[in-house]
Amino acid sequence: MTVTEVRKNADDLTMTLTAEFDASPERVWQLWADPRQLERWWGPPTYPATVDSHDLRSGGRVEYHMTGPEGDQPRGYWEIAEADAPRSLTFHDGFANDDGTPNTDLPSNESRVRIEAIGDGRTRMSIDSIFPSNEAMEQLLAMGMEDGLTQAVGQIDAILAEDAVRSA
């Protein structure tokens, strides 16, 4: 599996997921930058994502929904604070109501993505989730955030493997 580590730190209100891939930083960035590729991995296998709008630049917004096994469609959004292709991405990550407005009944968090070459054509990607409070961190973790993100990122290797097949 691509995920090498998940660390939670209640004192710092953070969860950090680290993964490594057999791909360049530019290729890993494309997994975020191309909405059709993002749909293939953002969300665990049982809750695949559909990207409804995608503006991955500083000041932009990404809106999506996931479709669960019972047909439920929870919605989410990212407000992009900074996009520095292919090195980093920072966004406010929140739940949305059906009309796309923020669902303030559920906590949000800040996500910081770092993408870096580690040699031999490999890339390390870290996703830091920074929570506004201990309560928010506990609630999101209880909702399955750690497992969901781990399963989601775990789907990336299959996408990258298709590149190798195409180029062979």
| Residue 90: predicted pLDDT | 98
Which residue reads 């973790």 in tokens? 141
Cis, bond preceding 86 (omega within 30 deg of 0): yes
Give the CATH number, domain containing residue 114.
Answer: 3.30.530.20
| Residue 4: predicted pLDDT | 94
59 residue type, one letter? G
Tokens matching residue 161: 């493997």
CA–CA dist 168, 160 (Å, integer): 13
Helix axes 25-33, 156-167, angle to 10 degrees: 120
- Does the predicted TM-score (pTM) go above 0.85? yes
Which of 4, 33, 28 shows the shortest CA–CA distance to 16? 4
Per-residue pLDDT of the chain (168 residues; tens, 9 = 90+): 589 999 999 999 999 999 999 999 999 999 999 999 999 999 999 999 999 999 999 999 999 999 999 999 999 999 999 999 999 999 999 999 999 999 999 999 999 999 999 999 999 999 999 999 999 999 999 999 999 999 999 999 999 999 866 665
The conformation of residue 152, written as its DSSP 8-state character, comes to: H
Containing structural domain, residue 68 = 3-167
Number of domains in the chain: 1
Cα 72 from chain centroid (whole Å)? 20
